[in-house]
Amino acid sequence: GESVGLHLPTLSVQEGDNSIINCAYSNSASDYFIWYKQESGKGPQFIIDIRSNMDKRQGQRVTVLLNKTVKHLSLQIAATQPGDSAVYFCAENTGGFKTIFGAGTRLFVKA
Amino acid sequence: DVKVTQSSRYLVKRTGEKVFLECVQDMDHENMFWYRQDPGLGLRLIYFSYDVKMKEKGDIPEGYSVSREKKERFSLILESASTNQTSMYLCASSTLGQGQAKNIQYFGAGTRLSVL
């Protein structure tokens, strides 16, 4: 079946460094991708999204890159801070109600 | 800000009990969702609803039912709780309809259910 997966289940970075979280998707019909952040004790929160007609989108300290050729999505966090420690989920949507979530990557930020 | 409120943060029930998980959203969203979250498996969709009294099965509906009598409230029901239903349950809502490119979901804080 279709799936969204992650290359690395955990990522540990030094405070101040940049973080890159990767995600592979398999549904070539997906036209919209979202990154969510889930902090301990909370539900996932929307971070940034990108449509399939774009390659890159920037937010505040975060950038999402989409490579449709290899069905790859990444989230880049600049100058990672302790508050960025969380589980990050990529998700894909094909225009319907359902969103397919990846398994998540846990980001640890070392002070 | 969108607020999605789940009635309980922690719940402990016994095998065979009927369990109700309640979710309320305050942004007049049309769509509401119930997921369960288990380590390594991500979020799996149990049921969703795109309108009052409407419901659709998700990927893992077995052992669950739902109720949407009012637009702001979406209930998940475990008719006879089993130990394999021990999990974190997340409710979400969204406002955009089918066919549109975006479907940003807003989540509650979750209910951690333990079935003994």
DSSP chain A: ---EE-S-SEEEEETTS-EEEEEEE--TT--EEEEEEE-TTS--EEEEEEETT-SEEE-SSEEEEEETTTTEEEEEESS--GGG-EEEEEEEE-SSS-EEE---EEEEEE-
Above 80 in pLDDT, residue B1?
Answer: no
Tell me the shortest Cα–Cα distance from B20 to chain A, in angstroms: 19
**Contact between B31 and A45 using a beta-carbon 8 Å cutoff:** no
Tell me the CB-side half-sphere exposure of residue B74, using CA atoms within 13 A. Answer: 32
In this prediction, residues B53-64 reach a mean pLDDT of: 95
CA A33 to chain centre: 9
Q: Which two tokens stand for residue A73?
A: 């999505």
Q: How far apart are CA A37 and CA B20, in angstroms?
A: 27
Higher model confidence: residue B72 or residue B39? B72
Provide the pLDDT for residue A7.
45
Above 80 in pLDDT, residue B2?
Answer: no
Provide the pLDDT for residue A63.
98
Mutate to test the interface with B, among A31, A40, A99 (most CBs of B within 10 A): A99
Mean pLDDT per 10-residue interval, chain A, length 111 residues: 53 96 89 93 94 94 95 96 95 82 92 87
Strand-strand pairing, B111-115 and B87-94: antiparallel
Q: How far apart are CA A88 and CA A56, in angstroms?
A: 18
Mean pLDDT across chain B: 92
Above 60 in pLDDT, residue B56?
Answer: yes
Provide the pLDDT for residue A103.
85
Residues from chain B that touch A37, judged by Cβ atoms under 8 A, are none
Tell me the shortest Cα–Cα distance from B15 to chain A, in angstroms: 25
Provide the pLDDT for residue A43.
94
Per-residue pLDDT band at B8 (split at 50, 70, 90): very high
Provide the pLDDT for residue A94.
77
Residue in chain A nearest B92 by alpha carbon: A43
Q: Which of B4, B101, B110 sits opposite A32 (nearest CB)?
A: B101
**Which letter does DSSP use for residue B85 in this model?**
G
Provide the pLDDT for residue A4.
53
pLDDT of B20-43, one tens digit each? 999 999 989 999 999 999 887 889
Q: Which two tokens stand for residue B41?
A: 């498996």
Provide the pLDDT for residue A6.
42
Provide the pLDDT for residue B102.
65
